[in-house]
Amino acid sequence: MRPVILAIESSCDETSASVIRNGKVLNNIIASQAVHQKYGGVVPELASRAHQQNIVAVVDAALEGAGTTRTALDAIAFTRGPGLMGALLVGVSFAKGLAMGLKIPLIEVNHMQAHVLAHFIDEPRPSFPFLCLTVSGGHTQIVLVKDYLDMEVIGQTQDDAVGEAFDKAAKILGLPYPGGPLIDKYAQQGNPRAYKFSETVMPGLDFSFSGIKTAFLYFLRDKKKDNPAFVEENLADICASLQHHLVSMLLTRVEQACAQTGIRQVAIAGGVSANQGLRQRLHALGEQRGWEVFIPAFQYCTDNAGMIAMAAHYKYQRGLFAPLDVAPLARMPLST
């Protein structure tokens, strides 16, 4: 029953630990940080401090829940990047210290690769090659997945990520942080075709979402001139229309990617893959186009150590270990 790997995730505002044994993720412990809510977004320094406070308890819970001990571990995995530098440093430093103390190898994991590999935690699992739309607060990418550790970005945002567009629009609406899930919640009750928003034109398979915030701000400004209570009276329709627009931008590019590559297996990953509107419409489009669609369980959509453990399992099999002088990377290309 080898290997047994402890994985640590600390790239942003979730402190998470997971134990994987022989390719089977045994648990996925996550400590969220509510401290950021009153600031309307993640405060990097506060995130780093919260990781320091949480990491020992989270790791202990992961080991206890897996019915194992530190001495039974074969390797320690950690998120090297991309992410907030201070937050990454906590996870990297803890992993190094533990690996040195136990005299076992380190495994560095690319956070974005791990999001894709979350699809291999549970059945059903895609086969290679497949396309993965990876969508989060910091990234929007279409990834051609050739193998567990061989991935190529064939389309990506040139400015804001789609998760940023959701959260910024929510802030403009006066919704509390994190606002993206609230837009999704209200959208379920609204008319997705009540309002139209302008399209963004980008070459190839790339995206652009930076203009969405400005266009949305002006849209609300103009509507509130005529009716100061416009947002309160039409919140569900506003959220449904905005969500429909953003999801349409994503799925249009996915359709183009499938047409260009001839691939008919499509997956989504990342925090925004928890969005009900995106999940429902991808399923519907998949049925229409004859695609095989893969969507991870909710607990593996947002940042979590289960996906880090899965990536580490495949790296362990190939003997891809990190040196003790490894440093975190705030920016880290997918192919690294």
Of the candidates 208, 237, 240, 209, the one whose C-alpha atom is nearest the C-alpha of residue 223 is 237
Of the candidates 195, 250, 257, the one whose C-alpha atom is nearest the C-alpha of residue 220 is 195
Report, as ranges of residue numbers, the positions in the chain whose pLDDT lies below 70: 1, 34-36, 38-39, 336
- Would you call 130 helix, strand, or coil by DSSP? strand
Task: Tell me whether strands 265-269 and 150-156 are parallel, antiparallel or unpaired.
Answer: unpaired
What is d(CA 236, CA 7) in angstroms, rounded to the nearest whole number? 40
φ and ψ of 41, to 5 deg: 170, 170
Q: What is the pLDDT of residue 44?
A: 80
Prediction pTM value: 0.94
State pLDDT tens for residues 176-230: 888 899 999 999 999 999 999 988 889 999 999 988 888 999 999 999 999 999 9
The pair of three-digit structure tokens given for residue 189, joined into one six-digit string: 């009750």
The pair of three-digit structure tokens given for residue 33, joined into one six-digit string: 């940080």
State pLDDT tens for residues 44-63: 888 899 899 999 999 999 99
